[in-house]
Chain A
Amino acid sequence: MLVLENVRSGYGQVEVLKGVSLEIKKGEYAAIIGANGHGKTTILRTASGLLRPSSGRVKFDGEDITGMPPYKVAEKGLIHIPEGARLFPQMTVQENLVAGAFAKSSWRNKAKNLARVYQLFPNIAERKNQLALTLSGGERQTVAIARGLMAENVKLLMIDEPSAGLAPILIDEVYEKIGEIRKTGVGVLVVEQSPKRIADCDCIYLIENGEVRMQGSAKEVLESKEVMQAYLGS
């Protein structure tokens, strides 16, 4: 579904990704882990088109999307939910969701998709007329995920640190929601700091210094000495 081939990418002169290759299969639940500043977010930003790779290819659903602008990537069904939720603060919850249906094909079905996400996340339906800036951290994260699901034909949801800044009980809730989304057949790729949240992933990539240090099943990766080293500092 999503394939990165030897991708180099970064900000200006600073190269963050030094040749990253990975493959997320259709409907798969995958995770990218690693310490801060090693390029996890850069992988998502390059996949969604916010950053243009300096070399290498990005493919999605069999199509080369390297260098495609973000709005076109989103229309293909590859949805990136950025770190910190990034809601539109001066818009209501519902307006935020509607903004997620901006693409013409999504806009036609926005009433149907609104009903669907409110059913999936009843707690935000209660807050639909509240300004986004008044929400708590957990609610913000939920609205951000719901906004991503307002696009028609979502194939893969890339969520950057859904647990950042949240209390443990709220993190459990967010991951419960991610579980529900997976049941609808949507693939999910999360970027995560803490290994224990992703024990049920199909596939995990450990990123270190802009490269894939290790990849494999959750058990293989989480119990490896590489992960121990990355998190405990050799």
Chain B
Amino acid sequence: MVETALLLPPLLSAIILGSLYALMAMGLTLIYSTIRILNFAHGAFFMAGAYIVWWLNTPESATRLFGTMIPVSGLQLPLFVAVIPAVIIIFGAGVVTQKALILPLIRKPNTLITTLVATLALATILESVATVIFGGGRFSYAQELVVGNVRFGELIVTYVEIIQFAVAIGVLAALYLFLKKSRIGIGMRAVAQDLDAASLCGINTQTVYLLTFGIGAALAALAGFLLTNTIFLSPSVGATPLTIAFIVVVFGGIGSVPGTVIASYVVALVQQYVTLLLDPSWGLSFAFILMIAVLIIRPRGLFGFKET
């Protein structure tokens, strides 16, 4: 039998991880509910965001490019500064992806499949590019984001974890207000709920698509930066977060914002307790099993609405 004191740290980890999952999955949810496509490049944006931060931050004087050493930026930006251009660059990459890759495929036959394959291809290309530039090895940032921790009795929480949690929650809250109150946010929800009615309201649906994809990609990049403060960075680092994000999105009810948040915490809890009680390698599998069980009973997921 596991002691009660041992049950608390996984709960704390689940709250922190769940917030990061929600941040990651929210990008997928926004893109699916508005543009009606599944973005398999979401994990690649996660990875690319983290690499850009690493590159802007690294003090190394040279890096490998196409097998030869070249000087790097030498900018040595602090991590919390480097994240800003990284998120903006990935936002731009998202806009370009929508314009160049997705737009030519939507409103044509088999959009869901063609865009799925196209984004999967993009993910593979970005991973290859990262491997060519940075090599296949594992990186971590040159410094810790912040050093130190706080203790609550037996529990130890690092400042990094507090920042991960606070930034994820802060950004999700800001996103909620953006969707609820801002002109573009209302436009995004309108497009998600009825495309034709939205365009008759004077909403430029193409612009809304571009911004939605940009915002979705930027959320992945931010999640990538936050999470890689505690895990190693490698070209395939986005694969697991992508898988988790898909579990979360389907489990919560595809396209549902509250469903995405709640499912993120449920998946993180399951993962953490399975890790504690069974074995770390089972965590993700149990999250999948739980998702499938829920889908058998409720195919729309926890909070999915009926298609109208």
B-contacting residues of A (Cβ < 8 Å)?
48-50, 69-71, 74-75, 79-82, 86-91, 95, 98-103, 106-107, 147, 151
Provide the main secondary structure of the chain B interface: helix
Partner of A82, one of B186, B200, B305: B200
Beta-carbon nearest neighbor of A85 in chain B: B197
Q: Contact: A74 with B194, CB < 8 Å?
A: no
13 contacts between A and B (CB under 8 A): A49-B199, A71-B205, A74-B199, A74-B200, A75-B202, A80-B200, A81-B200, A82-B197, A87-B194, A87-B197, A89-B194, A102-B187, A102-B190
Knowing that A90-B193, A99-B198 touch, tell me 7 more A-B residue pairs with CB under 8 angstroms: A48-B200, A69-B204, A74-B202, A80-B200, A88-B198, A99-B190, A107-B183
Bound complex: CA A101 to CA B203 (Å): 9
Whether B99 sits at the interface, judged by CB under 8 Å, is no
Bound complex: CA A89 to CA B205 (Å): 18
B75: min CB distance to chain A, Å: 38
A-contacting residues of B (Cβ < 8 Å)?
183, 186-187, 189-190, 193-194, 196-206, 305, 308
Given A88-B193, A91-B193, the answer on whether A99 and B201 have CB atoms closer than 8 Å is yes
Q: Contact: A102 with B200, CB < 8 Å?
A: no
Beta-carbon nearest neighbor of A97 in chain B: B201
A7: min CB distance to chain B, Å: 19
Q: Contact: A70 with B189, CB < 8 Å?
A: no
Given A88-B193, A89-B308, the answer on whether A99 and B187 have CB atoms closer than 8 Å is yes
Q: Contact: B193 with A106, CB < 8 Å?
A: no
Bound complex: CA A102 to CA B203 (Å): 6
Give the interface centre of A90, A99, A103 by most chain B CB atoms within 10 Å: A99
A64: min CB distance to chain B, Å: 19
Q: Contact: B187 with A82, CB < 8 Å?
A: no
